[in-house]
Chain A
Amino acid sequence: MTDYRVSKLFFDLHHDAGLAREYRADMGSVIDRYQIKPDIRKALLADDVASLAPLVNAYLLRFYFQVRGMPEAQFIAKLRAMDPASGHSTGKVAHG
């Protein structure tokens, strides 16, 4: 289910380099401006890809972890760990 507030945070970080710098310096104070739910706040602070993925558009999720400075290979590994069967529920098969 899409969470509007965390989506808006990701969108704003994607658009505003100043906000992204501020976020890198002090995530908590930026998160607080978005009235984000406590469990989502915790997931943000922990870079918990699996918890955040169902809440936002997949492209915004990618942009967000680029802002966070997570290497793409690590981001992909965390995504794949969400579904060790590589998406059997959707009929998808993962390849290199």
Chain B
Amino acid sequence: MTDVTNDVIAIIAKKVRVENHPKIELSDRLEDLGLESLDAVEMIFDLEEKFDIQIPYNANTNNPRTEFATVGDVVNAIQKLVDKKKS
């Protein structure tokens, strides 16, 4: 796994009910992990801080559960923003 993958999984793991998910997989669905709306806002903050990126997100119009079905979707989105920042 890449560094971005490991970091994103570590950040998501902090926000979900880990007792049910001792190990988070890329195929895990965010909905199943029990990510609440405030969790999503905190997760986005952590991701922005970790990678020094800006993630456009409005809790009224964006729904992480529908836009990002799985942990892998989040990893891909972050990887794109990180690549864009490098270029």
Does chain A bind chain B? Answer: no
Query: Which residues on A are within 8 Å of B, measured CB to CB?
Result: none
